[in-house]
Structure 1
Amino acid sequence: MSDVAAPPAPSILEVVRRRYFSSVGNTLLTVVSLALLGTILWKVLDWAVFTAVFSTSGGPEACRGADGACWSVIGARWRLIFFGLYPYEEHWRSGLACLVVVVMTVLSCMPRFWSMKAISVIWIGGFAVFYVLMKGGVLGLVRVDEQNWGGLALTVFIFVTTVIIGMPLSLAWALLRRSELKVVSRVTAVIIDSVRSLPLVSILFTFAIVLPFVLPDWLTGDKLYRAIIGSALFFSAYQAEIIRGGFQGVPKGQEEAAKALGLGYWLRIGKILLPQAFKNALPATINQFVITFKETSLFIIIGFFEVLASGNAAYGTGDWTFAYVEVYVFIAAIYFAFVFSLSRYGAFLERRMDAGDRR
């Protein structure tokens, strides 16, 4: 073994100099890029903060002629954005229902609850509380039908219901797709590929508008639930392929060894293959969750008052029609908060699993 000591790690300043100021060309490009980014940042801050109007006392007239953003529209219309058509005096129920979903999500992210039983109890129980708060009709709560739901609560409801229905269905598709019976495997593949070949908008339109014409009255149900079933079917088709890819990442020798030990099918799947498949599929699964949350905005096309439609109503009525940019920026911030938190949690899970592998 050599006694020569390893060279010291370069300092941050040395790394910056090598990457961005190593030559005249790199230095010039770095300076121009910084100047451009600084100009853009200053323009954004000047519009959004320094010259913006925040007061709601003056109404729309306070923003007339202002150089910056008119955040007064958010202060005046935030209830409409968050709660949509939900009755004004019952807004506390819609807000509490959203808080229940946040708590449910946080509990699901804690390692101590990472078991099938605990996760099932948290999600099913949390969803039941959410639905009771939104729907009412029991425990002294005023009944509020689904056509009066709206805003952020409806967006969260669509996302959570899609995932709750779609995840078990996607697992069933994935297991059927890898079945040793050729007929079952091929029929499942045709179903999955057929759903994946269609745009989500067409599926939502079919389930919400077309199905009532071909189904008996007792089977049609509410339009919202039909659309959610269509969204869950679309989600499950993509997630099934993600899970199947996770299964393909598990060495075949492990399943063969489990068979040699006499383990039954469900023991092999539940104890050996599925945990590893979910781990392999984690990055793509988080990405699919992100896509699904953003795709809830498509429900506006079939007449639902989710958060984007509520935002349209917030600036589209009264004297706030000029403040549409501010409303869309605010809605974008809502989506960003949910999606960024979800992506960061996915990155945390990946680091945690990588650390577990190294141990």
Structure 2
Amino acid sequence: MTDLAPPAPGMLEDLRRRFFASPLQALVSLLSLGLIALVGWKLLNWALLSAVFDPSQGAEACHRAAGACWSVIAARWRIILFGLYPYEEQWRSALACVAVVAMTVLSCIPAFWTGRRIAAIWLAGTTVFYVLMKGGVLGLSYVGEESWGGLALTLFIFVATCLIGFPLSIVLALLRRSELPWISRTTGLIIDAVRSLPLISILFTFAIVLPFALPHWLQGDKLYRVIVGSALFFAAYQAEIVRGGMQGVAHGQGEAAMALGLSYWQRVSRILLPQAMRNALPATINQFVISFKETSLVVIVGFFEIIASGNAAYGTGEWRFAYAEVYTFIAFIYFVFVFSLSRYGAFLERRMSVGER
């Protein structure tokens, strides 16, 4: 007769074993708990209990208060979210942001995971965004790219970077795995050269230096040059991620596909890439998260994205002291987008059982 397994310890017993197993461990646990409670109370008091929310009270009320001055957000939220976009047309920028979010959400629903549906969603979403932001058609007044700013510009740069960079990364990964040495080595040299440079230097080169080396008809707008540079940087890193996923596919599967008479493109599209993308999913989600946060670097080359808009919100008038509140608000916006993307990545990993064998 086998012995019965011992009962699982209760919650209190588990806490005692983890944090109060010895007098020294108990002391450290109590001190840590007290420190966390103190910091939590300070943050709660600063952010909510002693904060000023009413913009009608002005900056003077914030100077007298002991907490945060959220009045600056209520008074300057348009500048933070829309930047230099014309005031009377900011509803278009808001709708453009909604279009991008809706496009992204629809792309994440499994029912739309076919090539035609994804392509239709991204084409429609990008067209709606561009028409709303730029105008010049359907009775909308024209707004040049130099007047774009805030959250809409951040989302546009991120979406355009991923839309161009992701297919390019797959092409680069396949070329680096080519059986022709001159193709694979040249592609590897390009990838390693781009990855060895900081993104700031690439953005600066495409925005400032490149126009001196190109004819006028080929220069294009600075915004699109920056997007191309950002997409190239994204593609170089993502290509190595995709190539790593390809290396995780058993070589015998390719040989079996060849034995069945499948062509090269059939082997790549039906066998290699689906498994490679599954293997590379965690690193791919991480690359998307990094790319979204790196959109803030475009402020270096003169774009009025959400960080620059936040600087303008507190840098003029009576709100110069309220920089902490403005940056906290911007950090919350980044957190919402990045955390949502991370959670969706975790959902995909569970759905595809990534890492399970």
Into which bin does the TM-score normalised by the smaller protein fall? over 0.9
Q: Gapped runs of 5+ residues in structure 2?
A: none
Counterpart-to-counterpart distance in 1, 2:354 and 2:255: 27
Question: 2:327 aligns to what?
Answer: 328
Question: 1:131 aligns to what?
Answer: 130
Larger mean Cα displacement after TM superposition, 266-275 or 75-84: 266-275
Amino acid of the structure 1 residue aligned with 2:298: F
Q: How far off is 1:123 after superposition?
A: 1.5
The within-5 A match list for 1:170-249 is 170-249=169-248
Q: How far off is 1:67 after superposition?
A: 1.0
Amino acid of the structure 1 residue aligned with 2:345: G
2:50–2:66 contact (8 Å) kept in structure 1: yes
Q: How far off is 1:356 after superposition?
A: 11
2:46–2:67 contact (8 Å) kept in structure 1: yes
Question: 1:354 aligns to what?
Answer: 353
2:289–2:341 contact (8 Å) kept in structure 1: yes
Matched, 1:28 2:27: yes
Amino acid of the structure 2 residue aligned with 1:226: R
TM-score (normalizing by structure 1): 0.97
Amino acid of the structure 1 residue aligned with 2:176: R
**2:236 alignment partner, SS class:** helix
Question: 2:98 aligns to what?
Answer: 99
Provide the aligned C-alpha RMSD in A.
1.4
Structure 1 residues 114, 13: CA separation in 2 closer, same or farther (over 3 Å shift)? Answer: farther
Question: 2:267 aligns to what?
Answer: 268
Amino acid of the structure 2 residue aligned with 1:353: M
Counterpart-to-counterpart distance in 2, 1:88 and 1:281: 43
Q: How far off is 1:124 after superposition?
A: 2.0
Question: 1:287 aligns to what?
Answer: 286
Counterpart-to-counterpart distance in 1, 2:106 and 2:222: 31
**Identity across the alignment (%):** 69
Amino acid of the structure 1 residue aligned with 2:174: L
Amino acid of the structure 2 residue aligned with 1:284: A
Q: How far off is 1:79 after superposition?
A: 0.3
CA deviations 1:300-356 (Å, max 9, x no partner) are 010000000000000001111011111111111111111111111111111111189
CA deviations 1:35-91 (Å, max 9, x no partner) are 011111111111111111111112212212221110000000000000000011111
Counterpart-to-counterpart distance in 2, 1:174 and 1:323: 47
TM-score (normalizing by structure 2): 0.97
**2:321 alignment partner, SS class:** helix
The within-5 A match list for 1:248-259 is 248-259=247-258
Q: How far off is 1:24 after superposition?
A: 1.6
**1:64 alignment partner, SS class:** helix
Q: How far off is 1:3 after superposition?
A: 4.6
Counterpart-to-counterpart distance in 1, 2:194 and 2:146: 28
Question: 1:47 aligns to what?
Answer: 46
Counterpart-to-counterpart distance in 1, 2:45 and 2:329: 17
Structure 1 residues 118, 7: CA separation in 2 closer, same or farther (over 3 Å shift)? Answer: farther
Counterpart-to-counterpart distance in 1, 2:166 and 2:188: 17
Counterpart-to-counterpart distance in 2, 1:135 and 1:7: 69
**1:297 alignment partner, SS class:** helix
CA deviations 1:147-199 (Å, max 9, x no partner) are 00000000000000000000010010000011111110000000000000001
Larger mean Cα displacement after TM superposition, 316-325 or 348-357: 348-357
Matched, 1:340 2:300: no
Counterpart-to-counterpart distance in 1, 2:17 and 2:159: 48
Counterpart-to-counterpart distance in 2, 1:356 and 1:64: 53
Q: How far off is 1:357 after superposition?
A: 6.4
**1:304 alignment partner, SS class:** coil
Amino acid of the structure 2 residue aligned with 1:56: P
Q: How far off is 1:18 after superposition?
A: 1.6
Counterpart-to-counterpart distance in 1, 2:131 and 2:198: 32
The within-5 A match list for 1:70-81 is 70-81=69-80
Q: How far off is 1:206 after superposition?
A: 0.5
2:94–2:152 contact (8 Å) kept in structure 1: yes
Matched, 1:8 2:11: no
Q: How far off is 1:8 after superposition?
A: 3.4
Question: 2:310 aligns to what?
Answer: 311
Question: 2:65 aligns to what?
Answer: 66
2:50–2:67 contact (8 Å) kept in structure 1: yes
Counterpart-to-counterpart distance in 2, 1:109 and 1:27: 46
Structure 1 residues 317, 294: CA separation in 2 closer, same or farther (over 3 Å shift)? Answer: same
Counterpart-to-counterpart distance in 1, 2:250 and 2:354: 20
Counterpart-to-counterpart distance in 1, 2:121 and 2:15: 47
Q: How far off is 1:15 after superposition?
A: 2.2
Larger mean Cα displacement after TM superposition, 112-121 or 238-247: 112-121
Counterpart-to-counterpart distance in 2, 1:174 and 1:181: 14
Q: How far off is 1:10 after superposition?
A: 3.0
**1:141 alignment partner, SS class:** coil
Structure 1 residues 356, 235: CA separation in 2 closer, same or farther (over 3 Å shift)? Answer: closer
Question: 1:278 aligns to what?
Answer: 277
Q: How far off is 1:254 after superposition?
A: 0.9
Amino acid of the structure 2 residue aligned with 1:328: Y
Counterpart-to-counterpart distance in 2, 1:5 and 1:286: 44
Q: How far off is 1:217 after superposition?
A: 0.4
